[in-house]
Amino acid sequence: MSATLSPPHSMPVGSHVSDRLSRKASRHVKERIIEALLFSAAAFSVFVTGAIVYVLVKESWVFFETVPLSDFLFDTQWTPLFDDAHYGIMVLLSGTLTSSGVALLVAIPLGTIIALYLSEFAGFKVREIAKPFLELLGGVPTIVYGYFALTMITPLLQKIYPDLPGFNLLSAGLVMGIMIIPYVASLSEDAMRAVPMALREGSYAMGATRLQTALWVVTPAATSGIASAYILGISRAVGETMILAVAAGMQPNLTFNPTEPGATITSYIVQVALGDLPHGSIGYQTIFAAGLTLLLMTLAFNLLGYWLRKRFREVY
Amino acid sequence: MMTAADLAAIRAIITRAKRWDLFFSLLGILSLMVGVLTFTVLFVDMAIQGVPRLNLDFFTSFPSRKAANAGILSAWVGTVLVMLLTALAAVPLGVAAGVYLEEYAPKNWMTDIIEINISNLAGIPSIVYGLLALGLFVYYFGFGQSILSAGLTLALLILPVIIVATREAIRAIPQSIHEGSYACGATTWQTVSDHILPYSSAGILTGVIIGMARAIGETAPIITIGALTFIAFLPPAPFTGEPPAGLFDWIFAPFTVMPIQMFNWTSRPEAAFAINAAAAGFVLVFMTLAMNGLAIYVRYRLRKNIKW
């Protein structure tokens, strides 16, 4: 380029830059506005969490002004809608823990075996078919699982235990377990597949079999991922509602015996919502106190999962 | 020197090890079969009970006290309208949030909080969203037990699903596409709107379909906002009725949806209603299966066709 040729838009030294390069040009303003809009969409999720905490705490606050916290935690009866009202959350917690326990006894062993099988044993074709199928299984609406537990599993179990009542925590828990299998299996499998090939090859080179490699090399290396899959399964079980509302009966029952009917925190909320409780009554506030308990439980599990991932993550 | 006895011992160990491998393979297939079998029994049982009930009348009748006359007209109309609002609210918000986190967000505490918060939201039980909606939409904003309340509730519920799907779809686009666009002088938004969004649209669509399939089956949060279970009328169509309804009157109308109608029939003792429940359940499962199947198909095509 010749030095004598001046650029078409030459400006005297010291004058301001062209408008098209200025930060104030419309294109920059537009960019800023768009960025602000997108940011507010992302920040909206924080607002949602804030709103959940605010609503639950606000209504529970009113509840705990009437009912002392010690009653809530230690009373052994839950009869908030009776004249002789008792508010012992323990009763609902026992139902939640029992049904979740049954569900996890099904979901954790089966989910783990399926994950190990799909990641270490199955061929490409089996995996390509099985994974979408598991997704479908996880996508079935829970009300349908509830109907299935009530009309199919309970009569089946009654053939084995004739004394089993029509509503019970056992059949609800079993079906819930099957519902949770996909979550446990698919997350565990992701964790196992993330284990580098070199570890497996090392193991095979030492003469280990597939099973030995799967159990003693892959599983330990994927512990943090498998643990968080379990945690997700637990928090699904604790928060599951419709299966229990349909198949477990909704009568509060302080028991750890799965063959009895029982109410859980979630099915109690449904039961109250189905009725016609006036806004602002103590019965209305109990569901927020119950919801707060549920939120705190799932929050604790989420934090535990987060901590496990950090603490036991193997970095390759 | 290896003796014949050593060789035999080694062979025995190998046979034993192979037997264990085989045993575990069978165990794996058996466990998978538990899932497959449950699903098959569930689906076939509902089909046998419910399909004879599926005629045109079932889709064009309101629920009724007589099981044989009852239908799902108000339920499926309600589901379609609620889903419409859910999609309108959740898709723009979720995609915008996902784009922000992938393309704009600086690495600072603010972004960390948003990210931790989103994964936390995904773990909150759906019934808690129902309580939020009861306190916030129904009473505080005064939307009442309307289609609007339900649509917004389900939108909040599936927001994390859409955000995560958007982020994954964007992350699958190679960095060189971004760099090429920036090298040509494009701004961030030009890069996003001309390249990132079009290339990730199939992945985002998959996430949206999966989210909507989940929302269609959600029962607990909608019961919690106090939706009635016996609705024998449709929301007002725009410009009809006396006096003519406004264009958006339907969003404040009371409603029922498919899963609630099914719950209502399931909880009745008469056997005739159980058959209705099976029929409604069959329609519901069919819808979610179709949506999930569509999502799996879109993703499969995507993986096959795109070679960066």
pLDDT above 80 for A314: no
A46 and B117 in contact by Cβ < 8 A?
yes
Task: Please say which residue of B19, B35, B51 terminates a domain.
Answer: B51
With a CB cutoff of 8 Å and minimum separation 6, the contacts of B126 are A239, A241, B157, B218, B220, B221
Nearest CA in chain A to B186: A27
A141 and B210 in contact by Cβ < 8 A?
no
Mutate to test the interface with B, among A242, A271, A285, A287 (most CBs of B within 10 A): A242
**From the CA of A311, how many Å to the nearest CA of chain B?**
17
Q: What is the CATH number of the domain that holds B93?
A: 1.10.3720.10
Contacts 24+ apart (CB under 8 A), A72-81: A72/A289, A76/A254, A77/A252, A77/A254, A78/A252, A78/A254, A78/A263, A78/A268, A79/A252, A80/A282, A80/A283, A80/A286, A81/A272, A81/A283
Per-residue model confidence as pLDDT tens digits over A288-312: 999 999 999 998 988 888 888 777 7
- Looking at residues A157-179, what average pLDDT do you find? 91
Indicate the residue of B100, B120, B136 with minimum beta-carbon distance to A302.
B120
- Looking at residues B182-191, what average pLDDT do you find? 91
- Model confidence at B90, pLDDT cuts 50, 70, 90, reads very high
Indicate the residue of B20, B217, B281 with minimum beta-carbon distance to A211.
B20
Q: Picking from A145-149, B198-202, B265-269, B304-308, which range would have the lowest pLDDT averaged per residue? A: B304-308
Asked whether residue B25 falls in the same domain as residue B85, the answer is: no
* Cα distance between residue A177 and residue A170, in whole Å: 10
Nearest CA in chain B to A244: B220
Per the structure, how many domains does chain B have? 2
Provide the sign of the torsion angle of the four alpha carbons B180, B182, B185, B187, taken in this order. positive
For residues A280, A283, A288 and A293, what is the CA-based torsion angle, rounded to 10 degrees?
A: 150
Listed by start position, the domains of chain A span: 19-66, 89-312
Q: What's the one-letter identity of residue B12?
A: A
Asked whether residue B226 falls in the same domain as residue B196, the answer is: yes
B278 and A288 in contact by Cβ < 8 A?
no
* Cα distance between residue A114 and residue B31, in whole Å: 6
pLDDT above 60 for B213: yes
A273 and B225 in contact by Cβ < 8 A?
yes
Asked whether residue B93 falls in the same domain as residue B78, the answer is: yes
A122 and B45 in contact by Cβ < 8 A?
no
ipTM over 0.90: no
Nearest CA in chain A to B118: A45
At residue B308, the pLDDT reads 62
- Looking at residues A209-237, what average pLDDT do you find? 91
At residue A23, the pLDDT reads 59
Asked whether residue B188 falls in the same domain as residue B71, the answer is: yes
A113 and B31 in contact by Cβ < 8 A?
yes
Using a CB–CB cutoff of 8 Å, tell me whether B112 touches chain A: no
What are the two backbone dihedrals, phi and then psi, of residue A78, each rounded to the nearest 5 degrees? -130, 95
At residue B181, the pLDDT reads 93
Task: Please say which residue of B15, B33, B51 terminates a domain.
Answer: B51
Q: Picking from A115-124, B51-60, B111-120, B181-190, which range would have the lowest pLDDT averaged per residue? A: B51-60
Nearest CA in chain A to B283: A144
Asked whether residue B103 falls in the same domain as residue B30, the answer is: no
Using a CB–CB cutoff of 8 Å, tell me whether B237 touches chain A: no
Which residues of chain B make contact with A37, given a CB cutoff of 8 A? 96
Asked whether residue B36 falls in the same domain as residue B59, the answer is: no
Asked whether residue B108 falls in the same domain as residue B232, the answer is: yes
- Looking at residues B130-154, what average pLDDT do you find? 91
The CATH number that domain A89-312 falls under is 1.10.3720.10
Which residues of chain B make contact with A45, given a CB cutoff of 8 A? 97, 114, 117-118, 121, 159-160, 163
Indicate the residue of B18, B135, B229 with minimum beta-carbon distance to A55.
B135
Using a CB–CB cutoff of 8 Å, tell me whether B213 touches chain A: yes
Using a CB–CB cutoff of 8 Å, tell me whether B265 touches chain A: no
Provide the sign of the torsion angle of the four alpha carbons B124, B127, B129, B135, taken in this order. negative
Asked whether residue B27 falls in the same domain as residue B135, the answer is: no
Per-residue model confidence as pLDDT tens digits over A46-81: 999 999 999 999 999 988 988 888 888 888 888 887
Residue B15 is part of which domain span? 4-51
- Looking at residues B174-183, what average pLDDT do you find? 91
Asked whether residue B41 falls in the same domain as residue B142, the answer is: no
pLDDT above 50 for A6: no
A270 and B29 in contact by Cβ < 8 A?
no
The answer for B 148-167 residues in CB contact with A (under 8 A) is 156, 159-160, 163
Q: What percent of chain A has pLDDT over 70?
A: 91
Asked whether residue B15 falls in the same domain as residue B124, the answer is: no
B223 and A273 in contact by Cβ < 8 A?
yes
Which residues of chain A make contact with B117, given a CB cutoff of 8 A? 45-46, 49
Asked if B266 and B274 touch (Cβ cutoff 8 Å), the reply is yes
At residue A3, the pLDDT reads 46
Average pLDDT, chain B: 88
Asked whether residue B98 falls in the same domain as residue B28, the answer is: no
Asked whether residue B84 falls in the same domain as residue B168, the answer is: yes
